[in-house]
């Protein structure tokens, strides 16, 4: 699975780290591959935004190892799920699909959480303050928990086979 936002320094690294933590705590990290990327190449190779790292730290996560990268269309074949953080990323990802079977792999993060799905987009905190980063992380955590609950039975079944 790959979480995708614009530059891969704010929202998508948060989602990657939160989801990976959920898999680890459930004892399923060996059976779940989690990554993140951006639709643009502006920050390739850079650490997550310092405010992302700080927000993650305040919630008990370590985001210091993250390095930004750009999503590549050829990744679709190796992924089961590509999770966009907002509708603009979803549109870009859909425009990069070359095999029709890959179109169904794309979804919006908040679409997996019935309590937040009507919101649609996880707001971009980049031009905001620390409080906004914390709020965005909270939204991402709730949506990742909802997504993990949906995927966990299949992952557990696959782990026992």
- Choosing from 51, 80, 94, 124, which is the catalytic residue? 124
- Choosing from 5, 10, 49, 86, which is the catalytic residue? 5
Q: Compute the C-alpha angle 8/12/15, nearest 5°.
A: 155
Tokens, residue 42: 């502006």
- Choosing from 11, 69, 86, 113, which is the catalytic residue? 11
**Nearest CA among 104, 140, 100 for reference residue 119:** 140
Query: How many angstroms separate the CA atoms of 56 and 49, rounded?
Result: 11
Q: Is 5 a catalytic residue?
A: yes
Query: How many angstroms separate the CA atoms of 94 and 81, rounded?
Result: 13
37 backbone dihedrals φ, ψ, rounded to 5°: -160, 170
Residue with tokens 């780290």: 17
Residue with tokens 């997550």: 48
Q: Is 124 a catalytic residue?
A: yes
Q: Which residues are catalytic?
A: 5, 11, 124
């Amino acid at each position: 699975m790959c979480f995708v936002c614009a530059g891969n320094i704010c929202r998508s690294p948060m989602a990657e780290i939160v989801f990976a933590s959920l898999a680890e705590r459930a004892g399923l990290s060996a059976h779940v591959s989690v990554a993140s990327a951006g639709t643009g190449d502006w920050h390739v190779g850079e650490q997550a935004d310092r405010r992302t790292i700080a927000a993650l730290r305040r919630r008990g996560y370590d985001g210091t190892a993250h390095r930004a990268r750009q999503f590549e269309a050829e990744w679709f074949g190796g992924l089961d799920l590509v999770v966009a953080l907002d509708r603009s990323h979803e549109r870009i990802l859909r425009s990069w699909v070359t095999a029709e079977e890959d179109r169904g792999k794309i979804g919006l993060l908040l679409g997996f959480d019935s309590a937040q799905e009507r919101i649609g987009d996880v707001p971009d905190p980049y031009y905001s303050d620390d409080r906004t980063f914390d709020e965005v992380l909270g939204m991402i955590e709730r949506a990742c928990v909802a997504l993990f609950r949906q995927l966990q039975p299949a992952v557990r079944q696959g782990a026992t086979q």
